[in-house]
Amino acid sequence: MAAFVLHVRTPAGPPRNWTRAQVQSFARKCPSAVDTRRVTVRMNGTVHAEHDGPSLTPPLPRKRIRVAILGGGISGLMCATELVRQANEQNALDMDVEVFDTGVHNVGGRASSRAVTVKGASMVVDHAAQFFTVSHGNRRLQAYVDEWKRLGVLREWGEAAVVSLSNGKRSDASLHCAPPYYIGTRGIGAISSALSQKLNIRRPAWVSVMQRDEDAAGAWKLFRNRHKAKEGAAMGVYDAVVIAHNGKCADRLVGTAHIPHIQRFLRTLFTCSAREEKNSKMQMSSLWSVLVAFEQPVAADFEGAFIPDCPALAWVSNNSKKLLQPLHEDGDAGTGGVAECWTLLSTPAFATKFKVPQEAVPDETAAIVVKELLSAFERALARAPGSLTPCFVRAQLWGAAVPLNYLAEERCIWDGAVKVGVCGDWLGQQASMESAAMSGIELADTIMRDFSRAGGPREERGLRAKFVLPRANTALGGFPRAPIDTEEEVLPARRRV
């Protein structure tokens, strides 16, 4: 058995053949007597090796940093995951991270799935994001993807499963994006669920006010609403706050913090098409998502399809085939079971035409939306009007769905002076799940660097960036082929629906 011998600066040293645990105990009690640069290892009473060794003095206490991440979409979850991972690996900071999410059913935002029951049959559906891609060479995100594949969280979607469809004629979908395509094995929400397993999630939780804590210099207090703020009933006190959502709610929230240089990035203009003259603000579109189930198969030889040149319908997907779900109650379609459940996603122009408060969608508006999108689906398939008769329908409006412009050059925003950051799919490149993930990852990197600094200027990112319009766009966002910057190399960008 090896004995670790400590070299001491004073005559009153420890016995010569202590174990490592005994040496460490002595070093903690008498640190001034220890020369931690040299360690001698004795084996059976004989010097086996003598070398410069690691410090045997106890490590300094880890600095505890409390971080609130407001938004449980992909960017917020990836930011939280990376903060926890890096803190554990570096063993220098104790990152106490809390994710606040408004989701009633689950986390993930637009990258979530929904469980529905139709005629006694339970199924999972993707009602927003449908699949995602990873740029060639993006090794950092690809490492996550490979691990999710190993764990059975996601799989590759066959290239032939996705097409472009118009008037019954199908064509190659590579015009819109390039494979491989990735989907969750139990819906796209499986990815968000996997990320959330190791995180501290507070859900459903609304945060509407953030204020400086007068008792803790530089800290932030979070409140559910202004009434709670007046009462002083804070949801928590945090050293840093990450805004991982957008739209009017994010704009109003940051307005309560009185940090206009960050709030300016969150001011939002809702429109169906991006305009150069309005590029001082984020421009966003809305989308309608309609679920329709049929007792008989639609008899389409694809699982997902872009619908180009259609004023109402932009995308359709067969959740039943895509997610490999047996949906029949008794094994046979048309005998009381459900054959297929589809997701229909509208164009931004259609959503603008039928824009209503998403928290209280009138029944008559929902009925019109379902009728119009179902008719567009029939035309895309070259079917007769009224030939598709669903046994189940559900309409949902995504008010803040797809960013139409993006902040160039930077994938995140951070001001180390106030300890507030922003991440999302609209930073650094055209909106995508990949963009959202990389934004969260890079913001975590920035936060770790900032809090690891012993002194000097604080970290700052994105505060001088400007919004730009994409070179090309589709109804559901862009699929850029131009190179994008990553930490490793210049990579071609790809895009999810």
Model confidence pLDDT, tens digit, residues 166-218: 888 888 766 566 668 899 999 999 999 999 999 999 999 999 999 999 887 78
- pTM comes to 0.82
Domain 63-105+197-279+405-492, CATH among 3.50.50.60, 3.60.20.10, 3.40.50.1820, 3.90.1300.10:
3.50.50.60
Model confidence pLDDT, tens digit, residues 307-337: 988 999 999 999 999 998 765 444 444 334 6
Model confidence pLDDT, tens digit, residues 6-15: 444 434 444 5
- Indicate the helix (H) or strand (E) that contains 467: strand 467-468
- Indicate the helix (H) or strand (E) that contains 37: strand 34-43
Which phi-psi region, left, alpha or beta, contains residue 51 (left: φ > 0; alpha: ψ -120 to 50)? beta
Q: Could you tell me the residue ranges of all domains in the chain? A: 2-52, 63-105+197-279+405-492, 110-184+283-402
Report, as an integer, the average pLDDT of 136-163.
Answer: 91
pLDDT value, residue 52: 45
Name which of 33-37, 121-125, 380-384, 492-496 the model is least confident about. 492-496
pLDDT value, residue 325: 76
CA 13 – CA 8 distance, rounded (Å): 6
Model confidence pLDDT, tens digit, residues 141-151: 999 999 999 99
482: number of Cβ within 10 Å: 13
Fold annotation for 110-184+283-402:
Polyamine Oxidase; Chain A, domain 2 (3.90.660)
Higher pLDDT, 366 or 60: 366
Average per-residue pLDDT for the chain = 82
pLDDT value, residue 177: 66
Model confidence pLDDT, tens digit, residues 34-89: 444 444 444 444 444 444 444 444 555 667 899 999 999 999 999 999 999 999 99
pLDDT band with cut points at 50, 70 and 90 for residue 28 = low
Contact 449, 459 (CB under 8 A): yes
Report, as an integer, the average pLDDT of 384-394.
Answer: 94
497, pLDDT greater than 50:
no
Report, as an integer, the average pLDDT of 276-304.
Answer: 91
Higher pLDDT, 373 or 430: 373
378, pLDDT greater than 90:
yes
Angstrom CA distances, 466 to 158, 258, 429, 482, stand at 38, 21, 12, 18
Q: Which two tokens stand for residue 441?
A: 């990852």
- Which percentage of the chain shows pLDDT scores above 70? 78
Amino acid occupying residue 118: V
Residue whose entry in the numeric block shows the structure tokens 């996601």:
154
Name which of 69-73, 100-104, 287-291, 473-477 the model is least confident about. 473-477
pLDDT band with cut points at 50, 70 and 90 for residue 447 = very high
Model confidence pLDDT, tens digit, residues 215-255: 877 899 999 999 988 888 999 999 999 999 998 899 999 99
Torsion, Cα of 181, 189, 486, 83 (10° steps): -160
- Indicate the helix (H) or strand (E) that contains 36: strand 34-43
pLDDT band with cut points at 50, 70 and 90 for residue 457 = confident
pLDDT value, residue 103: 86
